[in-house]
Amino acid sequence: MGFFGRKKVEVPPHPRREPRIDLPLTVESVRQVFADCVDFSEREAALGGDPDKLVTLCYISGMVKMERASDYVLRPLAQDTVLSGCGMAQAMERIRKGALYNLGVEKRATMDEAVFDMIGGNCILFFPGEKEVLSFNVGTEEKRSISDPENEPPLKGPRDSFVESVRTNTSLLRRRVRTPDLRIRELLVGRQTVTPVDIVWIEGITNPETVRAVERRVAEIDIDALIATGNLEEYIADDIHTAFPTLAYTERPDRFSAGVVEGRVGLLIDGLPLGWLLPGTLSQFFKTPQDKSQGWMAASALMVLRYLCMLITLFLPAVYIAAVTFHLEMLPTELALSIIAAKQDVPFTTVFEVLLMLVAFEIIQEAGLRLPSSIGQTVSILGGLVVGSAAVEARIVSPAVLIVVAVAGIAGYTMPSQDFAGALRIWRFGLAALASLAGMFGAAIGALLLICHLASLESFGVAYLTPFAANDGEQVEGHAVIRQPLPSVKLRETALKTQNRRNQR
């Protein structure tokens, strides 16, 4: 029995089937596997035009490019007259060694290999009486075209973004990182989806222990489907009991390439137009790709502004509650009198006003995100009018509270990472609640708890507060709040423990 007298539910076993398809490698077995599948197709072909020597081509419609299968496989099979005089084993070997025009051909000896090749876009050629088959890569390349990144708009830089095809994404990476030391290792995750996950790093720079740790955690993921980002993030993160993200992601190939060159490990997943960079540290979530595309003075000023906005969005509502409720003497006399005059006709306490406006702000933001863009903009405008001016005119909230909540909310939008901004919004509620209980002392306790929580986090052995902490006492060049001129930043981050720390002469 568990808490409240509820009976604990026993989790049934979830064993793997090896092999997954325990059938002989024949056309009949393939028909059995794809029974009731309208997209399964097969086509008989005569070797060299001899009707007495028939082979069977099996494929899945929509996954193969019909022109390639016809021109590179079926046409040579029918026109190569030498094949008509060969036995099936000899014909298979002749085709494997180049009798057909197709670029990729492999031998397959098990049903698992043949079936998953078909699902991946290959066509399988069966030879009567043979225990092996030939697999031809004739997959279609239909995919979404490369477009501008939507969540990370480029101000001064390339305008391409990742798409759902992992091979397209690796090609975007190869075009930027042309070194032959770039390594891309692929694992399959998900019993039902069998999703390719590519692990990317640069040999000779990236810490091999980090690469092995990432590979081990990805290989240990044993779930049915890898479709959403959480199916990866929550299984490989060091600590999931935190609101702060420990894995940095991007949809921009230039930012992903820069992270790999820095010595981080990258992850690309087929079906998701994103790339992950590991390990994730606090400073990553304040950087943008254009920080290195503009002057170091302007980039440094913007970086300082982001950190300042982080403090504003976190502590402004809590400090306002503490000052108005417990420490009114902290405020200048004229400001205190103005706040008191504005609150005379408001029936609610300051704490209730602030929390009410924070909740209303979150509701409007969530409604704007979930609705279509045209309707979402209308809802945002109406919500701003109702929650803003109408609430003040109706004496439900005071103007000062509206200003404080609006400034805190807008400051949160300066965060480059929306996941990190979401964590700040959660902690903003907690700090406001503590300030309502114990004033500035409660806000200080909340700040202490936040620092202790961040200090306890790690990402693949790297402290989350890097480079502000746990840098082994070494001076951090070009990786803190102020971005130094790029010619003077000659070393990679110490915490990454890269094999080659030097990045320029």
Which residue stretches of the chain have pLDDT < 50? 3, 473, 475, 477-478
Burial of 211 (0-12, 13-18, 19+ CB in 10 A): buried
What's the pLDDT score for residue 174?
95
Tokens 């009486």 appear where?
Answer: 129
Residues whose CB falls within 8 Å of the CB of residue 279, separated by 6 or more in sequence, listed in order = 210, 246, 264, 265, 458, 459, 460, 461, 462, 496
DSSP string of 440-499? Answer: HHHHHHHHHHHHHHHHH-EETTEETTTTTS-STTPPP-S-SSSPPPGGG--B--GGGT-S
DSSP string of 316-358? Answer: HHHHHHHHHHT-GGGS-HHHHHHHHHHHTT--S-HHHHHHHHH
Residues whose CB falls within 8 Å of the CB of residue 285, separated by 6 or more in sequence, listed in order = 245, 248, 415, 416, 417, 419, 420
**Closest C-alpha among 251, 253, 256 to residue 229:** 251
Residue 59 and residue 124 in contact, taking contact as beta carbons nearer than 8 Å = yes
Residue 137's SS3 state is strand
Helix (H) or strand (E) holding 201: strand 195-202
- Going from N- to C-terminal start, the domains of the chain cover 27-137, 166-280, 296-462
**How far lies 150's CA from each of 135, 146, 162, in Å?**
39, 12, 11
User: What is the gyration radius of the CA atoms in the chain, in angstroms?
Assistant: 30
Residue 124: φ, ψ to 5°: -110, 130
Q: Is the dihedral of CA 307, 308, 311, 314 positive or negative?
A: negative
Q: How many other C-beta atoms lie within 10 A of the C-beta of residue 28?
A: 10
Q: How many other C-beta atoms lie within 10 A of the C-beta of residue 342?
A: 16
Residue 21 and residue 111 in contact, taking contact as beta carbons nearer than 8 Å = yes
What's the pLDDT score for residue 386?
65
What's the pLDDT score for residue 316?
95
Burial of 156 (0-12, 13-18, 19+ CB in 10 A): exposed
Q: Helical H runs in 88-139?
A: 88-94, 111-119
User: Letter for the amino acid at 159?
Assistant: R
CA distance 205 to 258: 13
What's the pLDDT score for residue 470?
59
CA distance 306 to 308: 5
What's the pLDDT score for residue 9?
66
